[in-house]
Amino acid sequence: MAKHLQRDLGDLKKDLLASGSLVEEALNHAIEALVNRSINLAEVVIEGDYQINQKENQIEEECLKILALHQPVAADLRFIISVLKVNNDLERIGDLAVNIAERAIYLSSHDPLKAALNFPRMADGARKMVRKSLDALIGMDAKLARVVLTMDDEIDDLNREMYTTLQDLMRQSPEFIDRAVHTLSVSRYLERIADLATNIAEDVVFMVEGELIRHQAVKNTE
pLDDT range class, residue 216, cuts 50, 70, 90: low
Q: What was the pLDDT predicted at 221?
A: 47
pLDDT range class, residue 212, cuts 50, 70, 90: confident
pLDDT at 55 over 80: yes
Q: What was the pLDDT predicted at 222?
A: 44
Q: Quick one: how many helices (H) and strands (E) in the chain?
A: 6, 0
Residue-range domains of the chain with CATH? 2-209 (1.20.58.220)
Arithmetic mean of pLDDT over the chain: 92
Higher pLDDT, 191 or 117: 191
Q: What was the pLDDT predicted at 59?
A: 97
Q: What was the pLDDT predicted at 119?
A: 84
Average pLDDT (50-72) is 95
- CA–CA distance from 208 to each of 7, 29, 50, 211, 212 (Å)? 19, 31, 31, 8, 11
* 3-state SS class at 189: helix
Answer yes or no: are the C-beta atoms of 146 and 209 closer than 8 Å: no
pLDDT at 1 over 70: no
**Alpha-carbon span 14 to 11, nearest angstrom:** 5
Residue among 83, 88, 89, 85 at smallest CA distance from 9: 83
Span between the terminal Cα atoms of the chain, in Å: 43
* pLDDT tens-place string over residues 70-125: 988 988 999 999 999 999 999 999 999 999 999 999 999 999 887 778 888 999 99
pLDDT at 166 over 70: yes
* 3-state SS class at 119: helix
pLDDT at 215 over 70: no
* pLDDT tens-place string over residues 19-45: 999 999 999 999 999 999 999 999 999
